[in-house]
Amino acid sequence: MDLGLSGRIVIVTGGASNLGRAIALGFAKEGARAVIADVDDAQAKKVEREAPSGTIVARHTDVTDWDSVRSTVDFVESSMGRVDVLVNCAGWTIDRLFMEKPRAEWEREIAIDVWGFINCVRAVLDKMVERRYGRIVSIGSEAGRMGEWREAVYSGTKASVIAMSKSIAREVGKHGITLNVVCPGLIVGSPETSGSNSVWSSEQAEKFTPEVREKAAKGYPLRRLGTADDVVPAVLLLASDRASYITGQTLSVSGGYTMI
């Protein structure tokens, strides 16, 4: 199926590592131009070099900082003419029991996962409304649909992304703008595709031994954990005009983990 993404201008937050990287490269393969909005400059530049020349541009962006986000959107608007698609992929968590979690981790989860969404969506909406066109796809989580064990605050942040996406979709649908959420299950990142700021370059990665992964896979009806490449097609579809009549929806791409 031709998704008609060739020539589209896309911002992918958190596009330097793991799932964000795969999404940015997926858009590039479809002929779109993707801007990686990430704080990890070295890793973003690495992804830029992986793609065909000119299809991916790295731009230092801290999604928790309004001025940084606004600067990136202004850069894309002025240098590329518009923002057609925003993919909110920047996210962060450390798997830990709520009562054992330090406040600094809660605050970082909320800053990146909630304020990052708010900052980025608000920054692109004015011009999308003016042009009467826009596609916003946010990466949620099955944790936000079910309240996952050891992920209390993260579950809350992703639930808020789902709820805010529905609310904003109702508000801006009349302007030709859609908002949808893709909820993966557990996708274990790879050190080869992770920058220094990635969760998968921290203590989180050490917990997911082959034995732990095998045990976790038994909780999925398809009996395997997902990969970044499993999620990318859903994001591309929702970002395309093939999905122009889909908005305010939450799509689980998790091997049947929740079936909600």
What residues contact 96, with CB distance under 8 A and at least 6 apart? 105, 150
Q: Model-level pTM greater than 0.85?
A: yes
Q: Please state the domain extents for the chain.
A: 9-253
Query: Which residues of the chain fall below pLDDT 50?
Result: none
Mark residue 255 as left, alpha or beta (left: phi above 0; alpha: psi -120 to 50; beta: remaining).
left
CATH of 9-253, one of 3.30.420.40, 3.40.640.10, 3.40.50.10320, 3.40.50.720: 3.40.50.720
| Residue 245 annotated as catalytic | no
Tens of pLDDT, residues 205-243:
777 888 999 999 999 999 999 999 999 999 999 999 999
- Report the candidate in 258, 236, 217, 195 with the shortest Cα–Cα distance to residue 18: 195
Reduced to 3 states, what is the DSSP secondary structure of residue 10?
A: strand
> How many C-beta atoms surround the C-beta of residue 1 within 10 A?
8
pLDDT of 203: 63
105 vs 63, 99, 108, 218, 248, CA distance in Å? 16, 12, 5, 29, 29
CA dihedral (230, 41, 118, 165) in degrees, to 10, reads -10
Catalytic residue among 154, 220, 245, 257: 154
Could you tell me how far CA 247 lies from the centroid of its own chain?
17
- From CA 151, how far away is CA 146, in angstroms rounded? 10
Helices (H), 8-111: 18-29, 41-50, 66-80, 103-109
pLDDT of 233: 98
